[in-house]
Amino acid sequence: MAVIAERPTPGSVRGITLADSWRSFRTAIGLGWAIESNWSDPFLFAIYTLAKPLAAAMILVVMFSVITGGQNPEFLQFLIVGSALWNIVFGVMGGLVQSILEDRERYKMMKYVVVTPSSLFPFLLGRSLARVGISLVAVALTLGVGVVFLGVEFRPNFLILVPASIIGILAVMSLGIFMAGWCLQLRQEAWSYPEAIAGALYLISGAIFPIDILPSFLHPIAYASPTTWWLEASRRGLLGHGSPGSIGDLSDGVVMLLLVVSTAVAIPLALAAFAWFMKRARQAGLLDMTTGT
């Protein structure tokens, strides 16, 4: 049987067009969701997924109640919003890193994805989107509990909230992309790094206490992190006021500007770092490495 080979023309090589990337992205979303959810029935899945963020928020609520006896509701609002939004950081960073590590070490599929004409990048984004979606549900649930049971009052300002959410999630994704590339280089304990980095950011971003409480040598790191400004802008967008402490005295415009600037620095740095990490992973043969951890 004669085989007629179709000669590709420049610019039409399959896998490098936007449409092909989109198809790869969509397929990866379905795959990610199947992996995340197919082990249990939906009810049980919901319990497993939502109990953790709710319990994390309730720990803070009880700590607050024990000390203040329910006084200072502004601080409670600060706690609830910070605790709820932080689920996105865990979801995005955990999603991206776990996806790349699972595909490399558990399912051993990453090398096959890499050798396809499509880029790994849209696949990775799609593959991690299920966890991001779950984290958004956790955010909504935690905020809902805050409103219904704890008397948290929202005064939404969508002019701040919408751009802050979009820019903030892009910033968090850039951190996740950086982490995913970095974790490919690690010999041991790569699975622990997202938790460690997210935990460190949790500490310095003013998620559950004002930045002023931190030792002064950590202040510059806190001010440089886009997560700090994303949380502050989101609080202003949701609650109508800023955080307690010095950061709350800044104007809305300054907070948004700092969010945009820190994100504009983070995104290209993360993309460049990811590209370099991938190149190094190819050269060093790390794409099918099994660390055994």
284 belongs to the binding site for other proteins (CB under 8 A): no
Going by the DSSP 8-state scheme, the letter that residue 187 receives in this structure is S
DSSP string, 76-138: HHHHHHHHHHHHHHHHHHHHHHHHHHIIIIIS--HHHHHHSSS-HHHHHHHHHHHHHHHHHHH
Total number of residues that touch other proteins (CB under 8 A):
38
68 belongs to the binding site for other proteins (CB under 8 A): yes
Nearest distance, CB of residue 261 and other proteins, angstroms: 26
34 belongs to the binding site for other proteins (CB under 8 A): no
Q: Quick one: which of 189, 60, 175 has its CA closest to 128?
A: 175
185 belongs to the binding site for other proteins (CB under 8 A): no
Residue nearer to other proteins on the CB measure, 26 or 187: 187
Q: What are the angstrom distances between the C-alpha of 76 and each of 28, 71, 119, 159, 238? A: 39, 9, 44, 24, 14
CA–CA dist 177, 134 (Å, integer) = 18
Nearest distance, CB of residue 6 and other proteins, angstroms: 39
CA–CA dist 179, 196 (Å, integer) = 11
162 belongs to the binding site for other proteins (CB under 8 A): no
Nearest distance, CB of residue 34 and other proteins, angstroms: 12
196 belongs to the binding site for other proteins (CB under 8 A): yes
Name the site residues for other proteins (rule: CB under 8 A).
39-40, 44, 47-48, 51-53, 55-56, 58-60, 62-68, 75, 79, 188-189, 192, 195-196, 199-200, 202-203, 207-210, 213-214, 244
